[in-house]
Amino acid sequence: MARWARGQGKRMGNRDAWSGRPDRVARQGIMAVSLAFSSALLPSSPRSEKRGRALLILSALLGANNLARAVSEPDLSREILYGVRDQLIVLVNPG
């Protein structure tokens, strides 16, 4: 179910999960920075709760991005992205 990444000229899919150690280390560093940044943006709450919410948000965004790229229908792709975005906004700002 791999397909060409838009504008990147490389394949995406299951092979990406089996990439070498240097790639995983680099991604882990990026993830740590993204997690710290996202946690800092969340409303005040205990640190462990903020980290958990940040993990949920990043996971949802990555999942939505992968699903949106996996479908061939542009309307469905937008529905996935906007739907996840809207639900995350409600989660972060319930009021």
Higher pLDDT, 46 or 62: 62
pLDDT of residue 90: 87
Model confidence at 25: pLDDT above 50: yes
How do the domains of the chain map onto residue ranges?
A: 10-92
Which residue type does 45 have? S
Model confidence at 34: pLDDT above 70: yes
Taking residues 52-65, report their average pLDDT: 89
Count other C-beta atoms under 10 Å from residue 77's C-beta.
17
Higher pLDDT, 90 or 76: 76
Taking residues 41-63, report their average pLDDT: 83
pTM of the complete model: 0.62
Report how far residue 68's alpha carbon sits from residue 72's, in angstroms, rounded to the nearest whole number: 8
